[in-house]
Each structure stands twice: as structure tokens, then as C-alpha cells.
């Protein structure tokens, strides 16, 4: 029998995913739990395992395709029926589709679409003519770049064998075909822009005005979340400075000891600890408003999100129960989560349940900013670049080390007075690190 495996709901409100890599191919034997495909969702990159033992009969979608949750992803042939039977048992019709190309554009061609449940059946496009039958003209599957190039060169694209997935013709195939024919009057690859869809006589050589890149799932989610935050919360920001010479001294004394144990000690673990301790005394900033049910939701655990500048976009993994962890434990978790984020190994568990966020833009040179709330959280603390500047100590002007702080809150949830008391408590902890140990 055949089994259609739909893209599963991975949780956290995910609606779709992009195919990053297929680990299997038609005809391959798979076992339950083996990875079938790598999918990029709006939160993580995850491997999707096979739910059954069997043989892959059909992959539904190419690398780069966006698949909705609940839509068919792969057909698995369960023991008792061969792949040939699956093909014979599925009536097909031909419909035009658009698929991603190797440069983020589209591919125009035809595929076979199954008549049962809108599941794609194995395509026989490109098969040789069978005895006693007249072969239909072959319509090449090709990228727009290749089609435009072939048109300008006067080449019939349908006679070229493609090197891309499913026999897709790419621009390299056009150039290789041209080199074999020896036509010296044909333009080279560098002379033909991927935007060259104008008549040959109006074509002008030169750099492209724009470059198009498809939105990643992460970037789409960032855009959606930023708008949701701005539209659904009343942002208010305050700015402060804290002198951290004592904290710098503590860090310098313990930095090498941490390094000997494989943990990098930055200022961030101290900030995480200070925020968690301050939230215990100012619970409004560890809450969220539930207008639909006319109530406030106060979080009794202190899960601190850390904004990480990952290659594909900003992600916010969470340090869970930060108030119960030592500086060493927090530093270790920060290093581990940052590495996972940059290597796209974060799981949904790493990203869920944050109650307050911290973003450190100072590492890139910023001093002050107005952080955008990680909605529906009530607060986010921004950390600026540490500055050496004159300060007054004991009626004397000395050189101090100033850490700028930018705190944004949801003004529907937190008033100005509570906002100020919270940031002063954080400043107290950072200016006197020993105070961490003196709390009851």
C-alpha cells in the first residue's frame, strides 16, 4: 500500500516550511525515524523523520519550495505494493507550475499532478518514445535565465539536456551547448543579465540595477513579529548609564578560570543574572496583558531571551530559570545557544517560553537604541558599547567605565515609576556584583 506523509505541525504556530535538502530519493528504502528532509521553518531548521518503514515512491517538492503544514511531502510505498503499481494506479493530468531556480528565481515547465487527492505522481517527462506510439514534443523544464539566454542565442531549449534537478535546464547547460556547436557570435555568460527579458536589439550590457533574493522563513517571521509588536503594544523607552569598574575587575579575575573550563566569560551572564534578580522584585516586567480575557498573566519563572545575530537573521534563544543559575552556568548556556544559533541547530525548545529579553547591540558599536519588544513580553533591555568617560567619585573626577542601558517596556503593562525602579535595581547589581550573593 502507499502512504502519503504530510508536512507535520512542529508546534509554536508554524504554518509553513522551506525544503532545504532532501536526504532520500525515489526507490530508496527507509526505516521509521530516519531523516527524510531538512526543512527551514520560521523558527528553526529541523530534520523531518520518516513515520513508517518502506520505499520512497515520490518526493513532493524541490529544494527551495515552500510547503504548507498539512500538505503532502512524500509518498512512501509500504510493503505489499510496488512503485510501478503506484504509478499505474494514479491517473494524471498535466498542469503548469512555477518552481524555484538555482538563483532564487523561478522555473517554468510542466509536472504531472495526480488525480487522487492532488498528490503528485511520478513524472514520465523525458522518457523515450515507446514502440507503436508517437512521442509528444518535449517541453524543457528550465530557469527563466536559461530561457532568456536560449531565446537571445536562437537555440531551441527543448533539445538541450538539463543538468539540474529533474532534468532542469540551467544557464550553464546553454553555454555548454553553445561551446559544443562552436558559434562564436553567441554572447558569453557574463554578457547576459538574468534580467534580460527584453528584445535583443534593445539589450545593453552593464551591471544590474537590482538583485532579487527570496525571503527566508526567519526573515519573514522577523518582519511579521516586528509589525505585531509595534501594532499591539504601547512602546516606551528609558535610557540610563551604569558605572561598571567593579564588574570589570570581577570579570578580569575570573575570565581565565572560566576559559580553563571551556567557558567564555563576557559581561552578558552578569546582565542576565541582574535582570532575573530584578524581575523577582518587579514582577510587572515579567508579565503580559491578556486583553481577550480581561486579565494580567504574571510569570513565576524567569526565562530570559538572548538576542543572537545569526547568519540568517535575529533569533532569541532562552536561558531558562536564570535566577537559579550561577554565573558559570549562565555563561556556559549562552555560549552553547549562540553556537547552535550560528550553526542553525536551535530547537523549538531552545526558543520557547521567554518572559523578558536582552539584546546587546554594543558589541557592534552602538551606544543607545530603542529596542522593539519581543511581543507579548512586557520588557526588553538593550546593552550599549562600554565607554571610558569622566565620572564623579567622592567629589573627584576620575576615569570611569560606563555601560549604556536602553529599556523598552509595554506602557499598557508597566508605568514609568515601576520602569525606573526596575532599571535602577539592575544598575545596582551591575555596579556592585557582590550584591548578587547578598540577596536573601
- Supply the residues annotated as catalytic: 411
395 vs 145: CA distance, rounded Å: 71
DSSP annotation of 398: E
Using CA atoms, how far residue 286 sits from 69, 239, 302, 306, 426, in Å, is: 32, 19, 7, 15, 14
296-300-302 Cα angle (round to 5)? 115
State the Cα–Cα distance between residues 404 and 243, nearest whole angstrom: 9
Contact 440, 253 (CB under 8 A): no
- For the chain, the C-alpha Rg in angstroms (whole number) is 29
Neighbouring CB atoms inside 10 A of 189's CB total: 12
Q: How far is it, in rounded angstroms, from Cα 305 to Cα 279? A: 13
CB distance 137 to 247 below 8 Å: no
Return contacts of 17-23, CB within 8 angstroms, 24+ apart.
Answer: 17/41, 17/66, 17/67, 17/69, 17/217, 18/64, 18/65, 18/66, 18/67, 18/216, 18/217, 19/61, 19/62, 19/63, 19/64, 19/65, 19/67, 20/45, 20/63, 21/63, 22/59, 22/63, 23/47
Q: For 41-83, where are the E strands, in sequence order?
A: 45-49, 54-59, 66-68, 72-77
Provide the pairing of β-strand 396-410 with 379-383.
antiparallel
DSSP character at residue 127:
P
Helix axes 268-281, 416-431, angle to 10 degrees: 140
Instruction: Report the distance separating Cα 48 and Cα 33, nearest Å.
Output: 9
The region, left, alpha or beta by phi > 0 then psi within -120 to 50, assigned to residue 70 is: left
Question: H/E element holding 62?
Answer: none
Question: How far apart, in whole angstroms, are the C-alpha atoms of residue 90 and residue 64?
Answer: 26
Amino acid at each position: 500500500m502507499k502512504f502519503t506523509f504530510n508536512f507535520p505541525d512542529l508546534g509554536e504556530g508554524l504554518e509553513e516550511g522551506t525544503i532545504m535538502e532532501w536526504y532520500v530519493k525515489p526507490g530508496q528504502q527507509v526505516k521509521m525515524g530516519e531523516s527524510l528532509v531538512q526543512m527551514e521553518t520560521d523558527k528553526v531548521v529541523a530534520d523531518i523523520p520518516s513515520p513508517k518503514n518502506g520505499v520512497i515512491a515520490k518526493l513532493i517538492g524541490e529544494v527551495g519550495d515552500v510547503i504548507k503544514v498539512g500538505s503532502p511531502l512524500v509518498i512512501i510505498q509500504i510493503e505489499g505494493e510496488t512503485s510501478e503499481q503506484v504509478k499505474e494506479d494514479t491517473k494524471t493530468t498535466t498542469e503548469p507550475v512555477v518552481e524555484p531556480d538555482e538563483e532564487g528565481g523561478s522555473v517554468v515547465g510542466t509536472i504531472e499532478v495526480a488525480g487522487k487527492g492532488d498528490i503528485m505522481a511520478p513524472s514520465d517527462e523525458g522518457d523515450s518514445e515507446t514502440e507503436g506510439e508517437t512521442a509528444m514534443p518535449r517541453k524543457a523544464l528550465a530557469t527563466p535565465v536559461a530561457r532568456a539566454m536560449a531565446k537571445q542565442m536562437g537555440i531551441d531549449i527543448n533539445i538541450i539536456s538539463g543538468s539540474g534537478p529533474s532534468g532542469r535546464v540551467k544557464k550553464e547547460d546553454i553555454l555548454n551547448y553553445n561551446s559544443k556547436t562552436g558559434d562564436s557570435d553567441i554572447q558569453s555568460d557574463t554578457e547576459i543579465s538574468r534580467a534580460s527579458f527584453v528584445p535583443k536589439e534593445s539589450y545593453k550590457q552593464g551591471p544590474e540595477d537590482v538583485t532579487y533574493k527570496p525571503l527566508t522563513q526567519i526573515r519573514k517571521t522577523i518582519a511579521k513579529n516586528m509589525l505585531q509588536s509595534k501594532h499591539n503594544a504601547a512602546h516606551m523607552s528609558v535610557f540610563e548609564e551604569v558605572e561598571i569598574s567593579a564588574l570589570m575587575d570581577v570579570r578580569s579575575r575570573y575570565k581565565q578560570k572560566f576559559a580553563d573550563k571551556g567557558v567564555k566569560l563576557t559581561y552578558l551572564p552578569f546582565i542576565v543574572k541582574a535582570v532575573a534578580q530584578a524581575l523577582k522584585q518587579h514582577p510587572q516586567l515579567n508579565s503580559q496583558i491578556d486583553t481577550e480575557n480581561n486579565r494580567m498573566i504574571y510569570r513565576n519563572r524567569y526565562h530570559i531571551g538572548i538576542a543572537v545575530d545569526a547568519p540568517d537573521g535575529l533569533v532569541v534563544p532562552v536561558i531558562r530559570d536564570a535566577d537559579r543559575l550561577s554565573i558559570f552556568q549562565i555563561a556556559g548556556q549562552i555560549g552553547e545557544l549562540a553556537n547552535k544559533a550560528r550553526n542553525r541547530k536551535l530547537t523549538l525548545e531552545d526558543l520557547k517560553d521567554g518572559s523578558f529579553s536582552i539584546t546587546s547591540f554594543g558589541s557592534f558599536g552602538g551606544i543607545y537604541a530603542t529596542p522593539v519588544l519581543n511581543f507579548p513580553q512586557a520588557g526588553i533591555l538593550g546593552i550599549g558599547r562600554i565607554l571610558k568617560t569622566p565620572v564623579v567619585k567622592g567629589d573627584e573626577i576620575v576615569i570611569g567605565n560606563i555601560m549604556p542601558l536602553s529599556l523598552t517596556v509595554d506602557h499598557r503593562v508597566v508605568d514609568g515609576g515601576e520602569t525606573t525602579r526596575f532599571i535602577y535595581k539592575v544598575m545596582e547589581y551591575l555596579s556592585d556584583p557582590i550584591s548578587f550573593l547578598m540577596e536573601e
